[in-house]
Amino acid sequence: MSWYKNRVEAPGEVIREIVVADDGAGFGVADADIAESRPHYHTKTEELYVLLSGKLEVFLGTATREVLEQPLQTLRIPLHTLHWARSIGNVPARVLVVTLPVWVMTDHHLVESVDLRGRFFAVSFLCVS
């Protein structure tokens, strides 16, 4: 038996869910290895990233960039905020992700096209299910 409840593999990241909806806790906890995630947003879930190892560049919207470099450094990602992240270096960054309320796959809305320079913003909304 593994230490996590569910394992979700997406391009550029592996998410291991530790506290899930069935636990009835009202919040979620996951451990994620992020090489480079795809741009997405959540309409029901706020996230708190806690860096465990590595270095992580996190993009919020089309213009804001945050860098998590020290273990236990945190970053809050509000509802409806377009975001994605990529590891700085050759190995994925490991992040503890706390969500409120609990994250569910149907609230992971991928954005097909984003100009990373912030000058053009054409999106096609996709929902991973």
pLDDT digits (tens, 9 = 90+) for 3-27: 899 999 988 999 999 999 999 999 9
Query: What DSSP state is assigned to residue 92?
Result: P
Q: Out of 2.60.120.10, 3.40.980.10, 3.90.76.10, 3.30.565.10, which CATH number does the structure's domain 6-127 have? A: 2.60.120.10
SS3 117: coil
The Cα–Cα gap between 90 and 79 comes to 30
* Predicted TM-score (pTM) of this structure: 0.85
Q: What is the pLDDT of residue 60?
A: 93
| Residues of the chain scoring pLDDT < 70 | 1, 113-129
For residue 37, give both structure tokens. Answer: 């995630």
46-53 and 93-100 beta bridge pairing: antiparallel
For residue 78, give both structure tokens. Answer: 């509000």
Query: What DSSP state is assigned to residue 36?
Result: B
